[in-house]
């Protein structure tokens, strides 16, 4: 899938810390990660929105905004919403013990490969991970980190990793 201007902008904005470590020879940050890990970012970005009432949020995003539900897992209290932008979904997640706080959005970068391998490569480059990789068996691996300004980011990859 070719890089689009919006995809390039999203990767640049959220992964600015990679630019300085792309290395000599003109390799892009994405190519540098691929060389180190054999894995690259996938073709998707999930913007996770904690919600207080999952059904209310789904009604808003589908009935008011006209988006469609791509996946719903009531056992995990989440819904993925397709907003019509290729590679971009909203992840509505409920079940927290407190109402969502303003600014509690998380950007989940799809990883085509092993999240732990990509995580290790980013840690070598100075990315500050904020907790262990969370595994939802048979679904997803999530590795939380922050950008230099404290924005919440996560690597998100299949469990087990694609190709495994």
**Domains of the chain with bracketed CATH:** 5-158 (3.10.180.10)
Q: Which two tokens stand for residue 52?
A: 């207080």
* pLDDT over 60 at 61, yes or no: yes
- 163 versus 89: the higher-pLDDT residue is 89
Instruction: Please say if the pLDDT value at position 5 is more than 70.
Output: no
What pLDDT band is residue 155 in, cutting at 50, 70 and 90?
Answer: very high
- pLDDT at residue 77, as a whole number: 93
Measured CA to CA, the distance from residue 91 to residue 79 in angstroms comes to: 6
Model confidence at 158, pLDDT cuts 50, 70, 90, reads very high
Model pLDDT, residue 161:
82
Distance separating alpha carbons of residues 29 and 20, to the nearest angstrom: 8
Measured between alpha carbons, how far is residue 101 from residues 6, 11, 96, 106 in Å?
Answer: 27, 25, 11, 12
Q: What's the maximum distance between 2 C-alpha atoms anywhere in the chain?
A: 51
Closest by CA position to 3, among listed 23, 30, 25: 30
Kindly state the average pLDDT of the residues 150-164: 85
E-only strand ranges, the chain: 40-50, 68-73, 78-82, 88-93, 106-112, 128-129, 134-136, 140-146, 152-158
Q: Is the dihedral of CA 153, 86, 69, 111 positive or negative?
A: negative
Identify the pLDDT of residue 151.
Answer: 81
Among positive and negative, which fits the CA dihedral 93, 96, 101, 104? negative
What are 45-60's pLDDT values in tens digits?
899 998 889 999 999 8
Write the pLDDT tens digit of every residue in 65-118: 889 999 999 999 999 999 888 989 999 999 877 877 777 889 998 898 899 999
Which pLDDT value is given to residue 31?
58
CB 93 within 8 A of CB 50: yes
Mean pLDDT, the chain, integer: 78
The percent of residues in the chain predicted with pLDDT above 70, rounded, is: 75
């Amino acid at each position: 899938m070719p890089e689009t201007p919006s995809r390039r902008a999203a990767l640049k904005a959220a992964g600015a810390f990679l630019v300085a470590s792309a290395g000599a020879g003109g390799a892009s940050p994405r190519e540098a990660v691929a060389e180190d890990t054999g894995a690259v970012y996938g073709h998707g970005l999930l913007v996770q929105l904690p919600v207080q009432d999952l059904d209310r949020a789904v009604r808003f995003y589908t009935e008011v905004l006209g988006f469609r539900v791509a996946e719903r897992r009531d056992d995990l209290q989440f819904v993925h919403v397709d907003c019509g932008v290729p590679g971009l979904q909203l992840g509505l997640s409920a079940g927290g013990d407190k109402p969502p706080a303003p600014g509690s959005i998380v950007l989940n970068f799809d990883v085509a490969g092993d999240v732990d391998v990509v995580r290790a490569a980013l840690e070598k480059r100075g990315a500050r991970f904020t907790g262990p990789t969370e595994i939802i068996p048979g679904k997803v691996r999530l590795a939380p980190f922050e950008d230099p300004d404290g924005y919440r980011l996560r690597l998100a990859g299949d469990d087990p990793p694609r190709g495994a």
